[in-house]
């Protein structure tokens, strides 16, 4: 017989109830142990995976390059592993495939594929540090390249370096008066495409932009400000800003007083000129006809027998 603990809030339980509570307690403890063990294993696995990825990434050191179009460019790869390297291969990364470009080994030296002869070469003749150089870059050379180290102990280890080509912007700013408005034009041509913005004071100003792609890989951007009241813009400074690869080029110009004309005024002037020309022709024709008539009368009086 079990005694009730007075004042403690515990009541007597039978053996069946105690067995059920003990089973539940054991199951809960087992679940907690399993969860802790699973979390520890998952954490260890994640740490091991991250360490493996970082180690693989650190095996080959590369650096992306940015160069001007139609200039030399070099890409470098450095293998950090202690294993012996048998051959180094450079490949161009293409959509869905890799294209062999050039290889270097102690036995065969530099071997350039026919498609890349007189275009690239290996300029650092080492097995763990390799550099290829493009003699004169073209649009087709832009992209990513893989350096592949074939090692004796670890097999093939690779890294990727990318080449980006650019063209410095050509910019100019000018303005002209047309009809009753002022047109201010800012032009920029570069690769990649430049971005044009304005700093101008005044109202009733509209902006239009035209973008044109060229076969040589450059992009032309033409931005035009249409000022409807040009007289208010005279003496004020206009600034065109061209943004290209993080660098801003500013062009400044002050609008001088120009000659304003309108289409109705121009048509009136042209009509007046045409009218004056027609009047002059008519007067000249009448004068010439009168002279011809006067000469005929003189001949008639001087030689009447010739006209009988």
- The low-confidence residues of the chain, meaning pLDDT below 50, are 1-13, 15-27, 29-30, 33-34, 37-39, 41, 48, 51-58, 261, 307
What pLDDT does 297 receive?
59
The predicted pLDDT at position 60 comes to 93
At residue 108, the pLDDT reads 93
Pick the CATH number of 168-254 from 3.30.1370.160, 3.60.15.10, 3.30.565.10, 2.60.40.10: 2.60.40.10
Q: Please state which CATH class domain 61-166 belongs to.
A: mainly beta
In 113-194, where do the E strands start and end?
Answer: 120-125, 129-134, 143-151, 156-178, 181-191
Contact 73, 123 (CB under 8 A): no
Question: CB of 59 within 8 A of CB of 147?
Answer: no
pLDDT of residue 177: 84
Structural contact between residues 55 and 157, judged by C-beta atoms closer than 8 angstroms: no
Does pTM surpass 0.75? no
Domain boundaries, the chain: 61-166, 168-254
Query: What local confidence, expressed as pLDDT, does residue 44 receive?
Result: 52
Task: Give the separation between CA 228 and CA 179, rounded to whole angstroms.
Answer: 10
Q: Do the domains spanning 61-166 and 168-254 agree at the CATH topology level?
A: yes
Structure tokens at 14: 């039978």
């Amino acid at each position: 017989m079990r005694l009730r603990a007075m004042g403690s809030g515990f009541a007597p339980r039978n053996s069946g109830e105690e067995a059920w509570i003990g089973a539940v307690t054991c199951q809960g403890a087992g679940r907690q142990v399993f969860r802790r063990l699973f979390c520890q294993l998952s954490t260890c696995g994640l740490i091991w995976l991250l360490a493996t990825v970082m180690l693989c990434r650190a095996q080959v050191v590369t650096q992306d390059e940015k160069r001007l179009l139609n200039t030399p460019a070099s890409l470098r790869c450095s293998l950090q592993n202690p294993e012996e390297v048998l051959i180094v291969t450079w490949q161009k990364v293409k959509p869905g495939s890799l294209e062999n470009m050039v290889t270097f080994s102690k036995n065969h030296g530099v071997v350039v594929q026919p498609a890349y002869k007189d275009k690239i070469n290996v300029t650092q003749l080492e097995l763990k540090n390799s550099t290829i150089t493009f003699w004169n870059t073209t649009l087709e050379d832009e992209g990513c390249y893989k350096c592949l180290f074939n090692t004796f102990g670890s097999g093939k280890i690779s890294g990727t370096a990318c080449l980006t080509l650019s063209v410095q912007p050509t910019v100019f700013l000018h303005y002209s008066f047309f009809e009753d408005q002022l047109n201010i034009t800012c032009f920029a041509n570069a690769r990649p495409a430049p971005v044009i913005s304005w700093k101008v004071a005044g109202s009733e100003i509209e902006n239009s932009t035209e973008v044109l792609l060229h076969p040589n890989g450059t992009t032309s951007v033409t931005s035009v400000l249409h000022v409807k009241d040009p007289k208010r813009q005279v003496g004020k400074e206009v600034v065109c800003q061209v943004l290209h690869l993080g660098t801003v080029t500013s062009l400044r110009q002050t609008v001088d007083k120009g000659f304003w004309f309108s289409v109705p005024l121009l048509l009136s002037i042209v009509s007046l000129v045409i009218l004056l020309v027609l009047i002059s022709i008519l007067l000249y024709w009448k004068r010439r006809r009168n002279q011809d008539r006067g000469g005929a009368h003189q001949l008639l009086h001087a030689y009447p027998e010739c006209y009988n």
